[in-house]
Amino acid sequence: MICGFQADRIQITRKQYLSPYRGRGNNNNVSCCTCCYCADESCFEVKIEADSNDITEHPHDDKPRPYLCTVCDKRFTTKACLNDHKEIHTGEKLYSCTQCEKRFANQHQLGYHMNVHSSKYKCTECGKCFKDSSALTVHRRVHSGEKPFECTVCSKRFTQPCHLVHHSRIHSAEKPYKCHECDKAFSQSAHLNIHMRVHTGEKPYKCHLCDEAFSQSTHLNRHMRVHTGDKPYKCHLCDTAFSRSTHLNRHMRVHPRDKPYTCSLCNKSFSQSGSLKTHKRHVHSNRRPYDCRYCGKLFNSNIELKHHVRIHTGAKPYSCRHCSDRFMWHDQLKTHLLKSHNEGTWLTCNICQKKFSRSGDLKIHLLRHGGVKPYVCSECPKSFCTGGELRSHQLKHSDVKHFCCGSCGKYFRNKYYVVKHFKRCSRRLGFIGL
């Protein structure tokens, strides 16, 4: 058996399976190599007998592994395996392809790669070439739909045994790969390798445009979209495009059909749980524990207060990567990139062709076209397009004055008037910087 699978199910011969590794053992009777079917880095022994086709089982066993890597403490059964493994740490790739400039750590890898150029293993369906026959066999299952490896627990099927091995660990909760730094365990060795970069600080994937480095290739690919402007994830309802699938999923809830989070107090629905929490805090709660030390205005959350304080301090934390301009708000930076550097996508009104940088502004604009005013004042018949307009209006019905001038202590009902007064007051008192 190999990795828990019968050899006849995998349909390989002893010669096919062992040919890349012949002569690497001490006497050609025992070879040590990496299993190409379960993608496991653990070494295992394969017995070769003249009158037998048996391939021994490849469990994660306790066979003696006397050869120690001094860099990562991984152990191996033979010196040849250790030497091959060391090439991972050195990063040396001495063998280069003469046709595409790719480089490889050893001749075996280069030899396999050259098969791609020679079209030795070519798919007759799509013309794609592969390094060996086993890779071509696996690829053909894409066209045939064949999934010969079935999970005995949930009957899910897979094209490769390694995928079944990884899947089976979901049921068994087996995590055989442990981090020696923090004891965190993983079901796949690849996940452990990625995790180790948290401890080592290694970031091998570098952007050739801005030199920013990443620990995973997927993070680099995602970052490159910042430079290319590529937005491959499109909404099929409004054609808005996104650079990440998570952003598309979040956007899809903007459309009326998917608002799973409902307020228990007023039955209003929201696309995100965070929006529901914000709604409850702003609409149904009078608690405002955070006050501005400059003007005394009260806020529901600390983050709202931090944003507000920028008005007084003049802080501009958002800088343009193309020029020296800085901005107080992220939306201002986004608009600047669109107007000055043509970076990003304008959102256009399909009625009057007016352009917007924020989807929220476009949504409100469309409500105005339709005359939709869903926010009705509880004190009078007036209605409004946005909740902000309603809240501003409701101050007229209240005797509470939330807005205070930080210079003279005078209170106002409306933000507009306190800002106007504050500028006049600070000039009179000589606070030019404010």
Residue pLDDT, tens place only, 7-38: 333 333 333 333 333 333 344 333 333 343 34
Among 2, 12, 10, CA closest to 33: 2
Asked if the model's pLDDT at residue 211 lies above 60, the reply is yes
Is residue 40 assigned to a domain? yes
Question: Are 418 and 296 in the same domain?
Answer: yes
Domain boundary among 200, 216, 236: 200
Among 26, 64, 77, 81, CA closest to 48: 26
| Average pLDDT of the residues in 142-162 | 88
Of 51-60, 241-250, 260-269, 322-331, give the lowest mean pLDDT range. 51-60
| Average pLDDT of the residues in 117-142 | 89
Q: In whole angstroms, what is the distance from residue 163 CA to residue 21 CA? A: 24
Number of folded domains that form the chain:
3
Question: Are 419 and 340 in the same domain?
Answer: yes
pLDDT band for position 142 (cuts 50, 70, 90): confident
Is residue 212 assigned to a domain? no
Question: Are 87 and 153 in the same domain?
Answer: no
The token pair at 263 is 């307020």
Q: Which residues of 194-208 are buried (b: 16+ CB within 10 A; e: fewer)?
A: ebeeeeeeeeebeee
Question: Are 158 and 81 in the same domain?
Answer: no
Q: Helix (H, G, I), strand (E, B), or coil: what is residue 396?
A: helix
Question: Are 82 and 170 in the same domain?
Answer: no
CB atoms within 10 A of CB 81: 24
Residue with the bigger pLDDT between 168 and 277: it is 168
Is residue 232 assigned to a domain? no
Q: What is the pLDDT of residue 10?
A: 33
pLDDT band for position 242 (cuts 50, 70, 90): confident
The token pair at 120 is 């030795």
pLDDT over 90, % of the chain: 3
Question: Are 294 and 382 in the same domain?
Answer: yes
Domain boundary among 50, 73, 91: 91
The token pair at 372 is 């939709």
Question: Are 71 and 160 in the same domain?
Answer: no
Q: In whole angstroms, what is the distance from residue 358 CA to residue 346 CA? A: 8
We report the CATH number of the domain holding residue 166 as: 3.30.160.60
Q: Is the backbone of residue 279 left (phi > 0), alpha (psi -120 to 50) or beta?
A: alpha
Is residue 37 assigned to a domain? yes
Tens digits of residue pLDDT in 189-203: 888 888 888 888 888
Is residue 243 assigned to a domain? no
Is residue 296 assigned to a domain? yes
Q: In whole numbers, what is the pLDDT of the chain averaged over residues?
A: 75
Q: What is the pLDDT of residue 121?
A: 92
CA angle 274, 365, 250 (to 5 degrees): 30
Q: Which residues of 49-61 are buried (b: 16+ CB within 10 A; e: fewer)?
A: eeeeeebeebeee
pLDDT band for position 91 (cuts 50, 70, 90): low
Q: What single DSSP character describes residue 390?
A: H
Question: Are 66 and 186 in the same domain?
Answer: no
Question: Are 293 and 424 in the same domain?
Answer: yes
Residue with the bigger pLDDT between 326 and 248: it is 326
Q: What is the pLDDT of residue 278?
A: 77
Q: What is the pLDDT of residue 347?
A: 83
Domain of residue 389, residue span: 289-429
CA atoms within 13 A on the CB side of 110: 15
Q: What is the pLDDT of residue 96?
A: 85
Q: Are 114 and 97 in contact (CB under 8 A)?
A: yes
Question: Are 82 and 163 in the same domain?
Answer: no
The token pair at 6 is 């019968």
pLDDT over 70, % of the chain: 81
Is residue 283 assigned to a domain? no
Q: 340 Cβ partners below 8 Å, 6+ apart?
A: 320, 322, 323, 325
Asked if the model's pLDDT at residue 204 lies above 70, the reply is yes
The token pair at 426 is 């600070």
Asked if the model's pLDDT at residue 375 lies above 70, the reply is yes
Asked if the model's pLDDT at residue 432 lies above 70, the reply is no
Residue with the bigger pLDDT between 293 and 210: it is 293
Is residue 105 assigned to a domain? no
| Average pLDDT of the residues in 346-355 | 86
Question: Are 188 and 306 in the same domain?
Answer: no
Which single residue is written with the structure tokens 């205070």?
404
Question: Are 312 and 388 in the same domain?
Answer: yes
